[in-house]
Amino acid sequence: MQLRRVVITGIGALTPVGNSARETWEALVAGKSGIAPITAFDASLFKTQFAGEVKGFDPTPLLDRKEVRKLDRYAQFSVWVAKEALEDSGLDMEHENRDRIGVIWGSGMGGLQTTEEEIVSFGKGDGVPRFNPFMIPKSIPSIAAGQISILFGLGGLSFSVSTACSSSSHAIAQAFDQIRLGHADVLLTGGADADVTITGIGGFNSLHALSTRNDDPQGASRPFSKSRDGFVLSEGAACLIMEDYEHAKARGAKIYAEMVGEGMTSDAYHMTAPDPDARGAQRVMQLAIQDAGIRPEDIDYINTHGTSTPLGDIAELKAIRNVFGDHIYEMNLDSTKSMTGHMIGATGAVESMACILALKHGIVPPTINHSADDEDEQIDYKINFTFGQAQKRPLRYALTNTFGFGGHNACLVFRKWEE
């Protein structure tokens, strides 16, 4: 069958470096870190006392206070970025067939803050099981997709994806497939997580997964550097408006980029550790490139998963080397997590946005926090990691990787827009 072309016509974002897609992009290009000491709770007794928090977020311009109380922070983020992306897209919702518009949303943890608050409240009580009647809908990872559909009256397909750190990348891959197969004309897709909580920090600390560089929060996320000691937990959200090209063309939409390929694999190796042979990561890139109908040599830029963990960075680079060979020296690689930290289920959507805007503007954001005296003998520094500052260059194809706990791998390929 003839598959439909899929384009991106709107973007919204809330991240530790910006409260809109534009603010986030400008901060990424400028090499600005959004990591700081935690303000949401007293973290003084934790091994990690910093994170990437969204700053100054107020949902009440969109939601009244009664509705705010019914939604966990991650879901508030979700509807906010969906609104920004819809407005950016220029869709005239009064004249659209909303039964052909839907939502596919990713979240790794769902309403973690709500679950934590309710359990703590119960533990402090008299043993009588009293819970907020909205505890369950506030907690489940699927409520964000449902709430976006409700708020904007979208009657098309609606579901959620939860694959840890890969959640929003899997959601985007699913949206791509649903549109090119003709099951929808427009999909709001992306993801959100708000895990900078006592449980989030404590749980990841117990796994020894987080950086403990409390004396230098902004320098703590340092992918591809020898002194990396774990990832930085962050919160955020991003939404892409993905649209059938013919539908977008008919309404005269502006187009940011075209999505051309996706890949999904499993490591089938370990609950939290990457496969040291990087077989799943290698295959997921090969599948995405094959799906796009291009060669590895066509890729100009990779936004790496690049979490700043001792094992993860090495495994990903091994996979990239295996896929691209000597072309690895012709590409730009970066890790925008060096600035945003790791937003768990939102990370794939934010990093897809970085790829899309990099293609549009011909600019690769930097990887910050690396110095020449902090080089790992396991890493080939002839590779262009875009250290220090953004780099302008012609870009036609960009690829982004996300790898989640449980071995869930997703890879997405975008192309610079051209008819």
Could you list the active site residues? 165, 305, 342
Q: Looking at residue 56, what DSSP letter applies?
A: S
Residue pair 315/8 in contact by the 8 Å Cβ criterion: no
Residue 249 in tokens: 């063309």
* Host H or E run for residue 290: helix 279-292
Residue pair 198/348 in contact by the 8 Å Cβ criterion: no
What does R_g of the chain's alpha carbons equal in angstroms? Answer: 20
Residues 6+ apart with CB under 8 A from 50: 35, 36, 37, 38, 43, 213, 214, 217, 220, 232
Q: Provide the greatest CA pair distance for the chain.
A: 66
Annotate 329-347 with b (16+ C-beta within 10 A) or e (fewer).
eebbbbbbbbbbbbbbbbb
Sheet architecture: strand order including 158-161:
158-161, 101-106, 186-193, 236-244, 6-14, 257-266, 408-416, 397-404, 301-303, 332-334
If we measure between CA atoms, which residue out of 418, 345, 390 comes closest to residue 78? 345
Residues 6+ apart with CB under 8 A from 95: none
